[in-house]
């Protein structure tokens, strides 16, 4: 009996390409992450706030969520993608409050999902287009029921 590896290899490669690199258990739909956000302006003044990130919809590598800041009572719709343990997103729409100029459409974030002390944590940064001195750092932990 002859074993034909060619078709099997093609099938395996095709399956991997079609499946892509997404794990819907990381940054799962319905998950809530809580933590802190610190942003420093060009004068060196640090603004700090509690944050909550809710993942409202997840479709393979793409997600839609809500970013809320407790200190100034604002929230934004965020849209982004996640691959492996890295995520990135844009602030796409104001949902509540009076956000700083340039946040909607101009602010983006990137982060990494890690496990620290047995807990899932995202650490990340934000940048605001046209405002190079307005950079932020954030960290949020997966909230357990």
Tens digits of per-residue pLDDT, 98-113?
Answer: 877 778 889 999 999 9
- Confidence label for 133 from pLDDT (cuts 50, 70 and 90): confident
Please name the CATH architecture into which domain 24-142 falls.
Answer: Beta Barrel (2.40)
Average pLDDT, the chain: 84
- What whole-number percentage of the chain has pLDDT above 70? 82
Stretch 49-54: mean pLDDT: 96
What Å distances lie between residue 51 and 5, 19, 33, 38, 79, CA to CA? Answer: 52, 33, 8, 10, 16
Closest CA to 39 of 121, 133, 122, 141: 133
pLDDT at 21 over 70: no
Total-model pTM: 0.81
For the chain, what's the residue count? 145
Stretch 30-48: mean pLDDT: 91
Cross-strand bridge partners of residue 126:
109, 136
């Amino acid at each position: 009996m002859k074993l034909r590896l060619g078709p099997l290899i093609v099938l395996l490669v095709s399956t991997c390409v079609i499946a892509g690199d997404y794990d819907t258990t990381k940054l799962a739909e319905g998950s809530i992450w809580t933590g802190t956000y610190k942003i420093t302006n060009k004068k060196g003044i640090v603004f700090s706030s509690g944050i909550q990130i809710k993942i409202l919809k997840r479709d393979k590598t793409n997600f839609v969520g809500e970013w809320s800041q407790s200190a100034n009572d604002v929230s934004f719709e965020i849209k982004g993608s996640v691959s492996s343990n890295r995520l990135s997103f844009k602030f796409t729409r104001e949902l509540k409050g009076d956000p700083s100029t340039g946040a909607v459409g101009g602010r983006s974030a990137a982060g990494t999902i890690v496990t620290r002390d047995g807990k899932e944590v995202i650490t990340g940064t934000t940048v605001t287009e046209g405002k190079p001195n307005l950079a932020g750092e954030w960290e949020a932990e997966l909230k357990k029921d």
